[in-house]
């Protein structure tokens, strides 16, 4: 368990929890592109993803605007090839063409100037470098998956236009719930959000949490390049020519 408090703004690692596994899936996808590369993790939050990619990257720099998150990440994740810095990702303070790979997962929807961020990403990428950037699909997100910390949420077509117009022609992938698992996810949402008669108050918070985790562990995710309109998260992959 992380020492950072859960506020809903950033993901806190917790094995078996749906939202954490959903974020981790994007890092697992990106890991295949990071072998022996210099990687920037823009909006690294708690730091778990940067640490995960550092297992195979030559060097990784994780940046986040939060001083609290930065201090936590530095204390929790210590590797010779891993560093964390405080930085506004809309003002990338790096030299041109420095990084082989830039990743940023479920961060762009938090920004008031996504275009400026993407311009910075393109600038700091080496020629031939990759940018891998994800966002929740607004059309598929409900309730607590959207909220006060988001400046702008994107449907699939909007996100494709944003990436293609400001980085360049890109490939797109989607995070999907594997078929046959939707009912369990709906049940999770029902238990956690819909309780008109306050039945949950009859059970301890520990029992409620164990029940949710048991259900969430049954939700299996996959990444494909098909049916992107119905993906829960959309991942854009841009290669700088």
Q: How confident is the model at residue 194 (pLDDT cuts 50, 70, 90)?
A: very low
pLDDT digit string, tens, across residues 155-164: 999 999 999 9
Q: Decide which of 187 and 131 is more confident.
A: 131
Helix (H) or strand (E) segment spanning residue 198: none
d(CA 224, CA 158): 19
User: Which residues have CB under 8 Å from 162's CB, separation 6+?
Assistant: 108, 114, 115, 118, 154
DSSP alpha helix (H) spans, 167-204: 182-193
Question: Could you give the domains of the chain?
Answer: 18-178+222-239 (3.40.50.150), 179-219 (no CATH)
Candidate from 25-39, 48-62, 162-176, 182-196 with smallest mean pLDDT: 182-196
Pairwise CA distance, residues 104 & 98, whole Å: 16
> Would you state the pLDDT for residue 83?
98
Residues facing 237 on adjacent strands: 132, 171
**Diameter of the chain by CA atoms?**
59
pLDDT score for 20: 80
Report pLDDT for 34: 98
What's the pLDDT score for residue 70?
94
The answer, yes or no, to whether residue 167 has pLDDT greater than 60, is: yes
- pLDDT tens for 78-128 read 999 999 999 999 999 999 999 999 999 999 999 999 999 999 999 999 999
User: Above 90 in pLDDT, residue 224?
Assistant: yes
* Contact yes or no for 116/146 (Cβ under 8 A): no
Comparing 80-84, 129-133, 204-208, the range with the smallest average pLDDT is: 204-208
Q: What is the mean pLDDT of residues 68-76?
A: 94
Phi first, then psi: what are they for 24, rounded to 5°?
Answer: -60, -30
Q: What is the pLDDT of residue 210?
A: 60
Residue 4, pLDDT above cutoff 90: no
Q: What pLDDT shows up at residue 211?
A: 56
The SS3 of residue 76 is helix
List, in sequence order, the alpha helices (H) in 62-155. Answer: 67-76, 114-124
Confidence of residue 22 (pLDDT cuts 50, 70, 90): confident
> What angle do the packed helices 114-124 and 156-166 form, to 10 degrees?
50
Query: What is the band of 144 on the pLDDT scale with cuts at 50, 70, 90?
Result: very low
């Amino acid at each position: 368990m992380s020492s950072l408090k859960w506020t809903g703004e950033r993901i806190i690692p917790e094995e078996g929890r749906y939202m954490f596994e959903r974020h981790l899936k994007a890092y697992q996808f990106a890991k295949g592109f990071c072998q022996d590369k210099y990687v920037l993790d823009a909006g690294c939050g708690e730091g778990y993803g940067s640490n995960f990619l550092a297992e195979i990257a030559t060097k990784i720099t994780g940046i986040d605007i939060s001083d609290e998150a930065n201090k936590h990440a530095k204390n929790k994740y210590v590797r010779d090839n891993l560093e964390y810095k405080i930085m506004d990702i809309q003002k990338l303070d790096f030299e041109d063409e420095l990084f082989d790979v830039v990743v940023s997962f479920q961060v762009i929807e938090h920004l008031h100037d996504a275009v400026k961020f993407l311009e910075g990403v393109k600038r700091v990428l080496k020629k031939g470098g990759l940018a891998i950037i994800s966002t929740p699909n607004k059309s598929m997100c409900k309730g607590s998956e959207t909220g006060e910390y988001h400046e702008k949420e994107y449907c699939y077509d909007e996100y494709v236009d944003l990436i293609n117009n400001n980085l360049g022609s890109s490939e797109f992938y989607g995070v999907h719930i594997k078929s046959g698992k939707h009912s369990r996810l709906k049940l999770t949402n029902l238990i956690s959000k819909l309780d008109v008669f306050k039945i949950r108050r009859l059970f301890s918070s520990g029992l409620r949490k164990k029940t949710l985790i048991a259900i969430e562990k049954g939700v299996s995710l996959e990444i494909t390049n098909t049916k992107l309109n119905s993906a829960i998260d959309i991942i854009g992959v841009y290669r700088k020519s």
